[in-house]
Amino acid sequence: MTASVTALESPLRRPKVARRTALALSALLLLAAWEICAAVGGLGPAATAVFVRALAISSALSLIPIAILWYLDRRERESPALFAAAFLWGGLIATTLALPANTIIVQAVAAWLEHDIALTELLGPNAALMIGAPLAAPIVEETTKGIGIVLLFWLMRGEFDNTRDGFIYGALVGCGFNWFESAMYVQQNFVQFGAAPFGFQLGVRYAWLGLGGHAMFSGIFGAALGYARVTSRRWFGALVAAVGLLVAMLAHAWHNALPLVLAIGASKAGEAPPKTIEAPPLLGLLEAMTLASVTNAVIFLPFLLLAVWILWRSGKRERDVIRQELAAEVGGTVSGEEYQAILADRRFRTRRIDSRNRRVSRALVDVQNKLAFRKRRLRLREFDPEVDPVVIARRDQIAELRTHLRA
């Protein structure tokens, strides 16, 4: 294998890189554990109990977006370990890296507001958070989540194939961030107001079945990185990735700026700002989730349409690549009957080879699809797929699976 083709493989498969990565992630996890214990446990046993309960509910709710993303990944399954790694980066590492930076920026805004009494009177007692949240969170949180997505893009480049993969990895990181952050907000509200708004905080943060908010923001950036993977113009791919990160930050900033926009609008309408910070409304989980889903569909319509277009386009692209690259495999790794099923594959349909042995059938379809994506990536880099060891290994794997299927 030439050095250039080797560059298409995942660095994590090299022992030295794997060891260094494991050490770095272990250090980050220790830092995250220390910060979580300090932030959560330092608020007292009652607040800790609220956090644990909120995290348990959030864990159950997170199964919904994870299941949806697992379904979206059905044409070329990634390992459950990779799913877990992306989710836990967002949930444990990105959140704990973002927490101190967010706090510092909001405190700096609060110190600045001490010298601007007029602005404080205009916005009310929550002025520091209203101004600080749109400044801090979009930059800090999208960066800490984005680092994890970029690491997956580099370390697992052999599995990070296209736009669909990028959206899934990015959304998983966002789901993890939402999983942990939701529980922290419930705990903070309990400490601040004496009541834990489980229904409101968890319902609002799991709008669109958990695929709104952080999952959508990070999914857009991940999809942009995925596009950079499949384009032969590297400079254009880098530009698309940068624009994807900017769009994620803009969507996040718009989300966090809404309270500020509403407060300014109320002031212009002659309404006096509130004298105290108001507690979240007492809403049930389903009521809050439904209300937030409908509201967010209006507020985030351009970003929602972009995410839907990404999923539609990436699905179509996957099917096209599979059809085109496996056409040359008919009579070898793909039978004529199987290729007819490939041609008949649709957006919500997943082909099967033999319903009597579903496990081997799913594995065979998966390896055939991986073969197609590998051949396309080689062609984009102007390499000959016929001499690639990975392509040869995929074909051998298909032959072995077909033997099991006949047996």
pLDDT digits (tens, 9 = 90+) for 231-248: 888 899 999 999 999 999
CA-to-CA dists, residue 7 to 3, 128, 196, 236, 374, angstroms: 6, 47, 51, 19, 13
- The model's pLDDT over 296-335, given as tens digits with 9 standing for 90+, comes to 999 999 999 999 999 999 999 999 999 999 999 999 999 9
* pLDDT recorded at residue 16: 87
Cα atoms in the Cβ-side hemisphere of radius 13 Å centred on 8? 23
Distances (CA, A) of 197 to 42, 46, 59, 62, 288: 20, 14, 17, 18, 11
With beta carbons less than 8 A apart as the criterion, state whether 296 and 209 touch. Answer: no
The Cα–Cα gap between 259 and 274 comes to 13
Q: What is the pLDDT of residue 291?
A: 95
Please, what is the average pLDDT of the chain? Answer: 91
Instruction: Note the pLDDT of residue 4.
Output: 55
User: pLDDT at position 1, please?
Assistant: 44
pLDDT of residue 196: 94
Q: What is the pLDDT of residue 357?
A: 82
Q: Which residues contact 391 (CB under 8 A, 6 or more apart)?
A: 371, 374, 375, 378, 385
376 or 1: which leads in pLDDT: 376
Query: How far is Cα 118 from Cα 44, in angstroms, rounded to an integer?
Result: 36
Q: Rounded mean pLDDT of 216-240?
A: 94
Amino acid at 329: E
Residue 143 to residue 146: CA distance in whole angstroms:
5
Comparing 257 with 120, the larger pLDDT belongs to: 257
Angle, vertex CA 83, rays to CA 82 and CA 86, nearest 5: 85
Q: Which residues contact 137 (CB under 8 A, 6 or more apart)?
A: 98, 102, 252, 253, 256
Positive/negative CA dihedral, 37, 51, 85, 160 = negative
Residue that is written with structure tokens 């490939």 in the block: 342
Q: What is the pLDDT of residue 3?
A: 46
pLDDT mean over 377-388: 89
**Domain locations along the chain:** 9-315, 330-406
Beta carbons within 8 Å of 245's beta carbon, 6+ residues apart = 142, 146, 221, 224
The alpha carbon torsion through 227, 232, 238, 244 (nearest 10 deg) reads -20
Mean pLDDT value across residues 197-216: 96
SS (H, E, C) the chain: CCHHHHCCCCHHHCHHHHHHHHHHHHHHHHHHHHHHHHHHHCCCHHHHHHHHHHHHHHHHHHHHHHHHHHHHCCCCCCCHHHHHHHHHHHHHHHHHHHHHHHHHHHHHHHHHHCCCHHHHHHHCCCHHHHHHHHHHHHHHHHHHHHHHHHHHHHHCCCCCCCHHHHHHHHHHHHHHHHHHHHHHHHHHHHHHHCCCCHHHHHHHHCHHHHCCCHHHHHHHHHHHHHHHHHCCCHHHHHHHHHHHHHHHHHHHHHHHHHHHHHHHHHHHCCCCCCCCCCCCCCCCHHHHHHHHHHHHHHHCHHHHHHHHHHHHHHHHHHHHHHHHHHHHHECCCECHHHHHHHHHCCCCCCCCCCCCCHHHHHHHHHHHHHHHHHHHHHHHCCCCHHHCHHHHHHHHHHHHHHHHHHC
Describe the crossing of helices 95-113 and 15-41 by its angle, rounded to 10 degrees: 50
Q: How confident is the model at residue 108 (pLDDT cuts 50, 70, 90)?
A: very high
- pTM for this predicted structure: 0.93
Rg of the chain on CA atoms, in Å: 24
Q: Provide the pLDDT confidence category of residue 115 given band limits of 50, 70 and 90.
A: confident
| Averaged pLDDT for residues 246-271 | 90
Closest CA to 166 of 93, 228, 89: 228
More confident residue, 191 or 266: 191
- What pLDDT is stored for residue 218 in this prediction? 98
Rounded to whole angstroms, the Cα distance separating 200 from 290 reads: 11
